[in-house]
Amino acid sequence: MAKLNELNLTELHDLLVSKEITATDLTEETFAQIKEKDPKIEAFLALNEEKALEMAKAIDLKGITTENPLAGIPIGIKDNIVTKDLRTTAASKILYNFDPVYDATVMEKLYQSDMIPVGKLNMDEFAMGGSTETSYFKKTKNAWDQTKVPGGSSGGSAAAVASGQIPVSLGSDTGGSIRQPAAFNGIVGLKPTYGRVSRFGLIAFSSSLDQIGPLTRNVKDNALVLNAISGLDERDGTSAGVSVPDFTAGLTGDIKGMKIGIPKEYMGEGVQPEVRKAIEKAVATFKELGATVDEVSLPHSKYGVAVYYIIASSEASSNLQRFDGIRYGYRSKNVQNLEDVYINSRSEGFGLEVKRRIMLGTFSLSSGYYDAYFKKAGQVRTLIKQDFEQVFNDYDLIIGPATPSVAFGLGEISDPVTMYMNDILTIPVNLAGVPGMSIPCGFGKDHLPVGLQIIGKPFDEATMYKAAYAFEQATDYHKEKPAILGGK
């Protein structure tokens, strides 16, 4: 039998139902894998071992039925999702000692499904970054090559899954923070439609862009987890009252007649030749499967990065005001008065990238500049959204590369603007509020994974999963393993 840490969720579920293994066995094996592999990957910030084993024993006592496909399955949680009595830092010094007194809605939903959270995963500080190098605590490594970044901000969530430590994790995506690390680590990562998954209990970066989503090693696993975490939440004013279908229902492998667009702007200058070649090969696969693939245009996507960094930084400037050294988190000892508490706690508690974005956002919202920057960015955001709507009048899906390159080296990009431009292919999806995912579609330089981005209509994740599953069944990219799992 294959090792437990290499089995998919359906295989693990079958073993649990047949009692060939127990939830306790699986949880113990998961912590053994974490202890063996995480010293090389550095994906985890906090482990939940005692509580996880208690949960596993309770689940075993209750019994696991065929109707509950996620019962007893271990899951890792990005450290900006609040977890009751389990340290939640958003990878920032300012929250170094924060133990929440409540659970995020997605955590409540995971508990209802009898999933077992095993720990909190490293990320860029407050989800601001594209490489997981802005974390205050540690730098996570890519599962395929430990000299490369895992991507960000959900780098810990992606690397832990890709390295076989856990079968599934939750991340968050503000401008590509699930899809880019999924692409860099050769796994499946989905950003749902804005409003599909509750943001209650997600430490806010940019409230009009953030979404929680799953990272897994295959498409069906991803769909199973989205089934569990989706749905209306009255505690989240942006949560959508849209019905939640069974996202696994359309996984037939049949996509004959599906109409797919590939934006010419996504295949232009700046995309590495190996990445472009992998995407072109993926296009050929979709055509062989009976889909029509045509070139389309998203003309305003070129403004996406500029628009995103104005809107996201402005919202971050507002959201991060609450971290002031008063009620929780880091408080400076170097103070003489109340003003010192605010200024010194924030100056010492926030990292460089977070400060940079707060400054940019505060400037964009300031008197005299609001109309020139924030308001203008909102208007261009509407044009970007309209581009997608126009294409979706004629096409079922849009595809293209998830990232312009494969994973780059740790410390290789020090210029923030260059780092920001790495999100050029993912950002428009968040600005438009539509769903996007990355699936493995080949390998580039140094045998590093390439991700294919699939973009769908609002609340039509089912069609994305259908196409992704058909592609996955027709290819073997998702079966290849990094060296840490015995691959080449």
Catalytic center residues: 78, 153, 177
CA gap 123, 59 in Å, rounded? 30
Element (H, E) at 440: strand 436-443
Least Cα distance to 145 among 485, 487, 483, 486 occurs for 483
Residues with Cβ < 8 Å from 487, sequence gap 6 or more?
480, 481
Give the sheet arrangement for strand 44-47, strand by strand. Answer: 44-47, 116-121, 74-78, 168-173, 211-216, 188-191, 436-443, 449-456, 397-401, 259-263, 292-296
DSSP 142-202: -SS-TTB---SSSHHHHHHHHTTS-SEEEEEESSSTTHHHHHHHTSEEEEPPTTSB--TTB
Pairing of strands 188-191, 259-263: unpaired
CA gap 190, 197 in Å, rounded? 12
Q: What is the DSSP letter of 231?
A: S
Residue with the two structure tokens 């974490």: 34
Do 329 and 99 meet the contact criterion of CB atoms below 8 Å apart? no
Residues with Cβ < 8 Å from 143, sequence gap 6 or more?
41, 150, 158, 159, 162, 163, 185, 186, 482, 484
CA gap 66, 245 in Å, rounded? 19
Token couple for 269: 């200058």
Q: What is the DSSP letter of 360?
A: H
